[in-house]
């Protein structure tokens, strides 16, 4: 296994315990304590910086297009088509997903939402973040109308 495969796996596994805690025990003090500090997203951020450090040319290529012939989407596509690009993008996505999921979890607990809507929002917060955010928003709007 190369460093990019390892970083992909670590990014994925890093957020697992935090996500499972929010999903299975959203109201427990242990979960609240676990998610109080920024540890839940620090690992994938460090991995992203490590990938960028190991492959600075990939990031530089995004800003360096001397002839202007290829568009930004072609440049990004080329960068993403590398192991470093995939691993870096994945770490970036994992950070965003867990960050938003933690926000969904906190808002759900603070507003005392029903457990099933909290869990559904948290589940999709990591799996399909826009869907988790939409479920949370709809549940919040429904709760505020009552």
Residue 127's domain comprises 3-145
Look at the chain and report how many structural domains it folds into.
Answer: 1
The single residue listed with the structure tokens 């997203």 is: 41
Percent of the chain with pLDDT over 90: 70
Task: Record the pTM.
Answer: 0.85
| Contacts of the segment 56-65: beta carbons below 8 A, 24+ positions apart | 58/82, 58/84, 58/85, 58/88
Q: What pLDDT digit, counting tens, does each position of 60-79 carry?
A: 766 776 555 567 777 778 77
């Amino acid at each position: 296994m190369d460093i990019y495969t390892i970083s992909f796996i670590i990014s994925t596994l890093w957020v697992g315990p935090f996500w499972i805690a929010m999903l299975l025990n959203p109201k427990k003090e242990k979960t609240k304590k676990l998610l109080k500090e920024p540890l839940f997203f620090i690992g994938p951020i460090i991995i992203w910086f490590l990938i960028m450090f190991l492959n600075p040319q990939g990031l530089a290529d995004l800003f360096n297009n001397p002839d202007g012939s290829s568009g930004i989407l072609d440049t990004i596509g080329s960068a993403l088509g590398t192991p470093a690009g995939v691993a870096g993008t994945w770490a970036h996505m994992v950070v965003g997903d867990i960050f938003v999921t933690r926000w969904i979890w906190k808002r759900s607990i603070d507003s005392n939402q029903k457990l099933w809507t909290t869990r559904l929002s948290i589940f999709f917060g990591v799996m399909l973040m826009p869907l988790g955010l939409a479920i949370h928003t709809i549940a919040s709007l429904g709760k505020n109308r009552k």
